[in-house]
Amino acid sequence: MPGVIWLMYLTRELSKTGLENWVIASPNLPDSRDIVVMGFNNEELQQWKSGMQTGVEKNDWVGLIKHPKLRRIRKVPNDVHIPVIIGLGLENAVICAFNLPYYGGSHTLLLRVIDELHALPIERKHTNIVPIVQSSGTGKSKTVDEVAKMRILFPLCIREHIGEICFAYPPTDRVVHDHLLRAVGTKNVGKCKQYFRSFLSALFTLAHLQGQKLFPGGKKVSYESMVMTFRGFFAEPLQRIEFYEAVVRKAQESPDTTRTSVWNSLKELTDGLKDRCVKWLPTTQCPILISIDEVHAVSSTLFVVVLMIGRTPFITLSTNLSGIKETASSMRGRTLPAPVTELPFDVYVINQPLTPSQATLASVGSLGFTAKFGRPLFYSSYLSRKDLPNIVEGIMRNVREKLSGRVWPPTARVDTIDASSIAVLSVRLHLDLSLATAYGKPYEEELVRNHLRLLYSVHENRETFVTGTSPEPLIAEASAQILNHSLMTHRFENDGPYMDLWSLLGKFVDDGLASEGAVVELIGRALSISAMDRAINRLSEVCELKYQTPVAVTDYYKALLTDEAWDVLRQSLPANRARLNHDSATKTFEDAFQDAYFHFSHWAKANDTFPLRDTLAWALWLRGSAVYLQPNQERTDRMVPIYFSTRGKVSPDTMSLNLEQDRMGPADPANIDIQSAEALQIFSHEKLPYIAVVHRYAVTKNQGIFVTPTSYDLRRQTSNDSIDSEESEAPRYQIVLQGLSAYDITGTTRTSIQAMINHVQKSPISLVYQLLDGVQLQGTEQLPALPPQARRGSQHSLTRRIFLVQVLPYDCVK
């Protein structure tokens, strides 16, 4: 052991020298943990110490370079998958991140589910398996480790081998992984079951013997002490490796284990621990647990054997949604409990909540601020590595690779729709696959498994599940970096964007993966994200995380619109100026928003208009989230928070909104609801200027930008109206964008958008929309338009009207 400690010390010192791209390795032992277990023999250790001393004192590393166990590797970044030995400091950082304090109550929820299952009478206990299924980085292993502080738990990790220069934690129990994987390869189901029974029997037998060593003599200990003793035992790598090596050896020595033998070995373990315990747990609580991390590699037949035991609950952890129930031997066994999906999220923000009037423009955009939001992996990685060099690039590269499922940097352009491209687009645009066709389900499973999409819930039948893109600004930053990455191949035909947003989005729609009603809003969200990226790319100074940089409202609209359209907008006045005082009524758009800023890198979905209030908009601004609403929401479709920096720090008092409506059909703007701040109850304080935009993408005539008062405003204005000192409304800058001519987009982008518009207009449901709007269709007679009060109905009421159109004359639908 002293030799191993000395080896680790020397390696740590070596990492500080110019040999950072060298590692200690062995052809037969590719893993750093194997090297530490192996150590050096005396001759190799002396050669290492001598070479190290000469190198430090004389800067002569020739002797060390000739060491038989030192070899050169390619340089690798500081990922969460950590290089071995050279990354000893980084490897320690990963372990440190795992051991940070746990926030949230997911572990108590998990334990409650386990105890409820354990307490069921035998005739009702259909299974003893509690599955945890969730995306990567959400704290599955950490949650189970918290349970290990409350119950005796035997942890197994059978993660696939991730490469010789990578490190993941908790480490793979490789001997167990290799042993169990051999059983999966057999075609004889009976022998496969026998194989797993032998392993479980050996596990219980060796655990009983280990309990005798940990708690020797006749002295009894508390259950809590037993729990922490076992947890400490399995937390020590050498002890854990030796224990599972012994388990596998015993399993191989006794291949013909019966079901009774497994039961007897489990009973021997339980009785042995109970005899050494002062007060054993009541029968309603489960005293012994087994967890299997990354279980999907060997799940099929192992579960059949586990179900036969019935007494000890097994916790299985996986990112795989594939069903397990088909492998059960009976209908009772197939009735598995719904997987646990509720794991820590936003826990660092919950632990230290955002506070109004604390943050400024300079507060956002750093890795330390942005990583707090979302799953705990990223901020814990930041906390454990914040003093290490290149931390931003190291963590961001890891997020890019986890999101895309591809090694970074890429070498070939992506021009097809697959799980990887959908994941990258969805993080920023929030693609909702659940409302689309049946083709979306396989994509959802793959996105949860390998591309950071969250699993919200799974029904007990394990056929119905709900997934979604979570509003995590760090993942949105990774997506922005991917979408803005250019391939520099120095070959003209291949140079260009790695992923073209508009081309891929067009294929996503054309493949039928977007519901018809969502396409128009997808176009709007993509236009906004693209404009935001262009505005940031034009800035001379950006934040540590480039695409988390706040952008002036005026710079955003300069990027969104053509020069001609921007010139019209910047000189425009409030549409409701008849109800404003003189100063507000005569202030141009450019002057009103000269100190106002957007901060958004992604879109998030809201269930109602509650986020459309300054009391929540300030927190969304800090998160970098813009919000779009349900399809049936009245008055507005999307919202982007606006922060007025000269009015103070970020708080409700300094916030306003940019409201947007997306329209596909050529309905008259006079019949479209005014996005009124008063009707939506946006302001809880002084009324600030806000923006109301209507996009009418499908218009082909009279295209352009219009900033004149609407008929609504003109109707409210009479000859007796006068501009006095008191304002009855907040200044509303009304913008109507008809067609595509006012947007600053390329010809290729315009073609992609037009193709998406045509895709929707050809659908049967679109024809009904046009009938309801009184649009002239080819070969039909012009129909009278619906009255405005009918037009403003929700999608639900529209559905009812569509039904009526099918059975009643048109004039009855008034």
User: What is the DSSP annotation of 643-658?
Assistant: EEGGG-SSSGGGEEEE
Residue 335 pLDDT exceeds 60: no
Provide the pLDDT for residue 461. 65
Phi (first) and psi of residue 316, to 5 degrees: -110, 135
The letter for the amino acid at 156 is L
Summarize the confidence of residues 67-80 as an average pLDDT: 46
Summarize the confidence of residues 502-513 as an average pLDDT: 91
pLDDT in tens, 635-668: 899 999 999 999 999 999 999 999 999 988 655 5
Give the total residue count for the chain.
814
Residue 424 pLDDT exceeds 70: yes
Provide the pLDDT for residue 545. 97
Summarize the confidence of residues 544-568 as an average pLDDT: 98
Provide the pLDDT for residue 90. 59
| Element housing 599 (H / E) | none
Are the CB atoms for 135 and 452 separated by under 8 Å? yes
pLDDT in tens, 349-375: 999 999 999 999 999 999 999 999 999
In terms of average pLDDT, the best of 63-67, 226-230, 466-470, 579-583 is 226-230
- Quote the tokens at residue 316: 């299985």
Q: Name the pLDDT band for 310 (thresholds 50, 70, 90).
A: low
Q: Map out the domains of the chain as residue ranges.
A: 2-75, 106-334, 361-515, 534-763, 764-814
Provide the pLDDT for residue 507. 93
Q: Name the pLDDT band for 301 (thresholds 50, 70, 90).
A: low
Average per-residue pLDDT for the chain: 80
Provide the pLDDT for residue 30. 37
User: Which neighbouring-strand residues pair with 22?
Assistant: 72
- Quote the tokens at residue 181: 């994987």
Are the CB atoms for 533 and 547 separated by under 8 Å? yes
Q: pLDDT: is 787 or 538 the higher one?
A: 538
Provide the pLDDT for residue 779. 34
User: What is the DSSP annotation of 90-157?
Assistant: HHHHHHHHHTSPP-SSHHHHHHHHHHHHHHS-TTT----EEEEE--TTS-HHHHHHHHTTTSEEEEEE
Provide the pLDDT for residue 18. 45
Q: Please state, for a pLDDT cut of 70, what percent of the chain lies above it.
A: 73
pTM for this one?
0.80
Task: For residue 780, count CB atoms less than 10 angstroms from its CB and return exposed for 0-12, middle for 13-18, buried for 19 or more.
Answer: exposed
Residue 729 DSSP SS3: coil
Q: Please state, for a pLDDT cut of 90, what percent of the chain lies above it.
A: 48
- Quote the tokens at residue 2: 């002293």
User: Which neighbouring-strand residues pair with 660?
Assistant: 638, 693
Are the CB atoms for 162 and 224 separated by under 8 Å? no
Nearest Cα to Cα of residue 137 among 91, 169, 107, 160: 169
Summarize the confidence of residues 500-514 as an average pLDDT: 91
Beta-carbon count within 10 A of 723 CB: 15
Q: Over the Cα atoms of the chain, what is R_g?
A: 31
Cα 506 from Cα 512, distance rounded (Å) = 10
Are the CB atoms for 639 and 657 separated by under 8 Å? yes
Phi (first) and psi of residue 725, to 5 degrees: -80, -20
Provide the pLDDT for residue 648. 96
Summarize the confidence of residues 785-799 as an average pLDDT: 34
Provide the pLDDT for residue 786. 36
Q: Name the pLDDT band for 726 (thresholds 50, 70, 90).
A: low
Summarize the confidence of residues 739-767 as an average pLDDT: 84
User: What is the DSSP annotation of 29-45?
Assistant: B-SHHHHHHH---HHHH
Strands ordered across the beta sheet of 152-157: 129-133, 314-318, 288-293, 152-157
Q: Name the pLDDT band for 149 (thresholds 50, 70, 90).
A: very high
Give me the torsion for CA of 257, 259, 260, 266, rounded to 10°.
Answer: 90
Q: Name the pLDDT band for 597 (thresholds 50, 70, 90).
A: very high
Nearest Cα to Cα of residue 311 among 110, 108, 114, 113: 114
Residue 569 pLDDT exceeds 80: yes
Helices (H), 552-699: 553-560, 563-570, 582-585, 589-592, 614-623, 677-680
Q: Name the pLDDT band for 750 (thresholds 50, 70, 90).
A: very high
Provide the pLDDT for residue 294. 80
Provide the pLDDT for residue 506. 94
Residue 383 pLDDT exceeds 60: yes
Provide the pLDDT for residue 281. 95
Are the CB atoms for 298 and 200 separated by under 8 Å? no
